[in-house]
Structure 1
Amino acid sequence: MREVRDILAECLRRERLGLVRPLWHDFVTINDDACEQIRLRADHLTRLLASYGLAIVRTEDDASRPETPPDVIYRCALEDGTAERLIRRAGDGWEVVRVAAGVETVEQSFSLERATINAGLVLTDAPEAKSIAGLGRQLAALVEIFRVHGQGAAK
């Protein structure tokens, strides 16, 4: 049985593009990375709906519990094409991870509170902001977390 997440992703693609070729079942075999980006949009929509007290559930069988979205809320290939970067929930915080040749390297871990304080340091031109390693990447990750409502995802 197909996952609700995958069905919702297919529906989002059809809503945006219409019934196009390749059809979803073929598209998955041709370019699963592109499908994963659409699945992440489906996760985003699921979180938005949950923030309004709504859930998508199956009605054709007794599997009526909505699936928990994955911890990864962002995944994208890096410019050089040799690796990818992802943002994921890690315990009570978040991680920015580089994946190359199947090996994950956590580049940064942070809490939303710390990243928000750091953003305030940048906005107020506080000199200590210049000494925070990886601040640009942290703030870019913070933007993505809020953009896809990742902070509202179940832990």
Structure 2
Amino acid sequence: MNSLGRRQTSDGRHESAEERADRRWNELLQEVRVTQTGVQILFGFLLTVVFTPRFATLSETDKTLYVITVLLGAATTGALIGPVTLHRLVTGRRLKPETVVWASRLTVVGTVLLLATVVSVLLLILRVAMHNGAVPWLVAGIFAWLLLCWFALPAWALYRHARRK
């Protein structure tokens, strides 16, 4: 620790716990902003589908899939807006480091829910558009791709970093 109360962290930064929490919060906010926008557009689109003439012609399976997709979209929206609400409600109570941890966990939950929502939307749209046996394979391919991009790559990076230490 230096004379200003700062200490060098494992990533070579010289920052206090409060400065680190502020930095991590700002980084998290930027990440959440990106996902929130996409989720809100997707969810808004989903809410309008039920009011189109085509909706009445869907099979019961597709209507059930639609309801599941809307519920997943609502849950995703809640999880990804949650960090902002959490921060607003606990601001000024000296809980910034804890808030960052809780908001980060909520964001990960939101990302998992987003994965489920995107897969569900794809399944519904491709079932209606294609009516063939390729749909599950196409959706499975996109699911695998999203898993790779969103979870496997970060896990691999963490694993490589841990091995270097």
Q: TM-score normalised by the shorter chain: which range applies?
A: under 0.3
TM-score normalised to the size of structure 1?
0.28
**Higher Cα radius of gyration:** 2
Which structure: greater strand fraction?
Answer: 1
User: What TM-score do the two structures reach when normalised by structure 2?
Assistant: 0.27
More helix by share: 2
Structure having greater relative contact order (Cα 8 Å, sep ≥ 6): 2
